[in-house]
């Protein structure tokens, strides 16, 4: 008997974590996938102070997440999910999330949290989770266009961008959203050697051919999905971020080719995860 791996959502009580929780609940109801909520108890460091010229050290202590999990259960119940599994662990937040993600179909986090726990859900740590988790990672934020029905996928011909496109099309089969495969590329600086330089039109044709070849098989596998393609002579990070303004979701692969090789290693990943104005899914 096959067991469906749950959607794992990290919860710290912040507004963004609640948004991630609601997104997860709706995904669960749409797909029938179970939900697992994880709250990580943090060990706060010792505090130092002075009393009457003496140094006083207050021992570190563990924050109890029981109340957070009760709150999460109520939020899920309000959305119609009544059979979620809740769990609290104690330890480094990132390590515990990565460990739990090994038995999840996706790890869902808010774009940022609050307090000490919030640091685990913002900035370089979200990239760390996206880079190292063994399952897709979804960073949820409020979309700029709440009525958007387009899933944007970054395509560069790599294996992981193909996986990202497959992820998007499987989702679109049940949501009816349009999938837009985008290939952005840096425009080459014209060579001073007129005989060696590549005409702009030739380079664009090559990029369009790469994109068409990348999505050809997917069209056959998902004939009912409306799949569009765009080649944009703009840096990959910029075109994906710009496209997110009218998207319900942006999906990217964990590693790419060429300029996309930095997708989760440098500027492109930072731009997509930090600046996209809709949820972002990172697929491997």
pTM for this entry = 0.84
Do domains 1-48+57-142 and 143-283 share one topology? The answer is yes
pLDDT of residue 92: 87
Per-residue pLDDT, averaged over 169-182, amounts to 97
Inform me whether the pLDDT recorded for 120 exceeds 90.
no
Residue 176 burial by Cβ neighbours in a 10 Å radius (0-12, 13-18, 19+): exposed
How far apart CA 143 and CA 246 sit, in angstroms, is: 8
Domain ranges of the chain: 1-48+57-142, 143-283
Inform me whether the pLDDT recorded for 2 exceeds 50.
no
How far apart CA 261 and CA 157 sit, in angstroms, is: 11
Strand partners, 53: none
Superfamily of domain 1-48+57-142: HUPs (3.40.50.620)
Each residue of 143-163: pLDDT tens digit? Answer: 999 999 999 999 988 888 899
Handedness of CA 21, 107, 132, 41 (dihedral sign): positive
Q: Which tokens is 281 given?
A: 């899914």
What CATH fold (topology level) applies to the domain 143-283?
Rossmann fold (3.40.50)
Each residue of 72-112: pLDDT tens digit? Answer: 999 999 999 999 999 999 888 899 999 999 999 999 999 87
Highest mean pLDDT among 3-7, 67-71, 76-80, 90-94: 76-80
Which residue is associated with the tokens 């399952």? Answer: 135
Each residue of 204-258: pLDDT tens digit? Answer: 888 999 899 999 999 999 999 999 999 999 988 899 999 999 999 999 987 655 4
């Amino acid at each position: 008997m096959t067991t469906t791996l749950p959607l794992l959502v990290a919860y710290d009580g912040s507004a963004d974590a609640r948004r991630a929780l609601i997104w997860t609940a709706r995904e669960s109801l749409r797909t029938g996938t179970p939900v697992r909520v994880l709250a990580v108890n943090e060990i706060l460091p010792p505090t130092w102070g002075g009393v009457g010229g003496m140094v006083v050290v207050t021992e570190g202590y563990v924050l109890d997440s029981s109340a957070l999990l009760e709150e999460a259960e109520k939020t899920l119940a309000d959305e119609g999910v009544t059979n979620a599994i809740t769990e609290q662990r104690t330890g480094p937040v990132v390590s515990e999330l990565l460990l739990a993600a090994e038995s999840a179909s996706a790890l869902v986090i808010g774009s940022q949290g609050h307090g000490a726990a919030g640091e685990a859900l913002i900035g370089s740590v979200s990239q760390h989770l996206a880079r190292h988790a063994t399952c897709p990672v979804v960073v949820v934020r409020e979309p700029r266009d709440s009525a958007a029905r387009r899933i944007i996928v970054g395509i560069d011909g790599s294996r992981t961008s193909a996986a990202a496109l497959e992820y998007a099309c499987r989702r679109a089969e049940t949501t009816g959203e349009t999938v837009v495969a985008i290939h952005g590329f840096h425009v080459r600086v014209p060579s001073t050697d007129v005989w060696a330089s590549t005409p702009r039109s030739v380079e664009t044709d090559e990029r369009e051919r790469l994109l068409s070849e990348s999505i050809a098989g997917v069209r056959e596998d998902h004939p009912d999905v409306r799949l569009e393609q765009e080649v944009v002579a703009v840096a990959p990070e910029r075109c994906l971020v710009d496209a997110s303004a009218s998207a319900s979701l942006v999906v990217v692969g964990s590693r790419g080719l060429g300029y996309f090789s930095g997708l989760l290693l440098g500027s492109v990943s930072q731009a997509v995860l930090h600046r996209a104005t809709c949820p972002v899914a990172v697929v491997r």
